[in-house]
Structure 1
Amino acid sequence: MNSWRVTKYNPLHRNNEGSYLYDDWTSFHEVGKKVSLADYLKIEEAYIQAIVAFMNEMDISTVYIHALEFSSNEIQNQHASDFTSNLWIGKGISIEEVKELAKLTLREAVWCKLGIKNLFFAHFGYDYYMYIGAHSNCYGARESVESLGLYVEKFESPY
């Protein structure tokens, strides 16, 4: 299985230990403080489209929820109670549902791991890190993601 770290962070700005050297926003909660809403939404959409690009290249229309945690206050803030009430570990979800769940994860209302055993995964980490794995090399998806302004680095998911 191939595995990549997909982020907004330029790998040229990391030290030898891999730590990012610049003080950059790392959370939805920094909108209005360190990042404008418009800039945040642009990056958020790029992350969501990154998942879709990999799923499309692999001809995947459904993935499964392998891990799921809720932050009830944030779910209420995002007006997502109806959506999240229909989610559970093991449920298969469509690309449209993946988009919504990824958005809620990036906004810290939920945390999840998505995937299809031995074929594909999308994991979310702290500080706006995302990990994608695929059975194939997904050259087209990686190129597409980089054209969105994100960076795709070979990296094993810690999740």
Structure 2
Amino acid sequence: MDYSYRITKYRYLTFGGTLRSPATEWTSFSEIDQEDDDRTREYLAIEGEYISLAIYLCNSFGASSLKVQGLENSKPIENDICEGQSFTIAQVPKLIASILREEFWCRLIGDGIEFHFGYDYYMYFVSDRDASEFILNSKTKLFTQEFLSPYMID
């Protein structure tokens, strides 16, 4: 795959060009206090941004399904997800929400596209075609930059 993008909720760049969050910002679902309505709403809005952008990119690239690859499932009894399992695009929102909530980890692989998920709310979109115009037209609130996914497999 020739094109790789890092997508994140973070907007602050260090002098070295690394994206980072302020010390008070949450970086894990485990930091969301379900009793804090404002923080929960903020989390759900940001989670929705990731999901919406992923679905938009799937539709833009004509993907009809995504397959699980590299599954790391810390809760196998609770998560009925299997290596190589395919999901329709309609099923993908729940899948991505579960990955972002750290219920399991995997790459999602489609025809000419891939989604990889890093720690601290980094999502990588990898494709065989330039996606910069699609991303620009997506109107996402997430920050996107060309960046080689550390989860690429040769």
- Native 8 Å contact 1:48 1:102 kept in 2: yes
Distance 1:142 1:91 in 2: 27
Matches within 5 A, 1:40-119: 40-72=43-75, 81=78, 84-85=79-80, 87-116=81-110, 119=112
Partner of 2:144: 152
- Native 8 Å contact 1:53 1:144 kept in 2: no
Aligned pair count?
Answer: 146
Give yes or no for the alignment of 1:15 onto 2:15.
Answer: yes
Letter in 2 for 1:141: F
Aligned to 1:29, the other structure's residue is in SS state helix
How many Å apart are 1:46 and its aligned residue?
Answer: 0.3
Aligned to 2:145, the other structure's residue is in SS state strand
Distance 1:136 1:148 in 2: 19
> Deviation string for 1:26-82 (max 9, x for gaps)?
11111137x70000000001001111111111011111111112232xx88xxxx3x
TM-score w.r.t. length of structure 1: 0.82
- Native 8 Å contact 2:4 2:125 kept in 1: yes
- Native 8 Å contact 2:108 2:116 kept in 1: yes
Q: Which runs of 5+ in 1 are unaligned?
A: none
Identity of aligned residues (%): 31
How many Å apart are 1:140 and its aligned residue?
Answer: 4.3
Letter in 1 for 2:93: K
| Superposed structure 1 runs of 4+ greater than 2 Å apart | 12-15, 138-141
- Native 8 Å contact 1:13 1:22 kept in 2: no
Partner of 1:26: 27
How many Å apart are 1:21 and its aligned residue?
Answer: 5.7
- Native 8 Å contact 2:5 2:149 kept in 1: yes
Distance 1:107 1:61 in 2: 24
Change (3 A) 1:139 1:19: closer
Change (3 A) 1:37 1:134: same
Partner of 1:123: 116
Distance 2:9 2:66 in 1: 24
Letter in 2 for 1:26: T
Q: Which has the higher helix share?
A: 1
| Cα RMSD, aligned residues only | 2.1
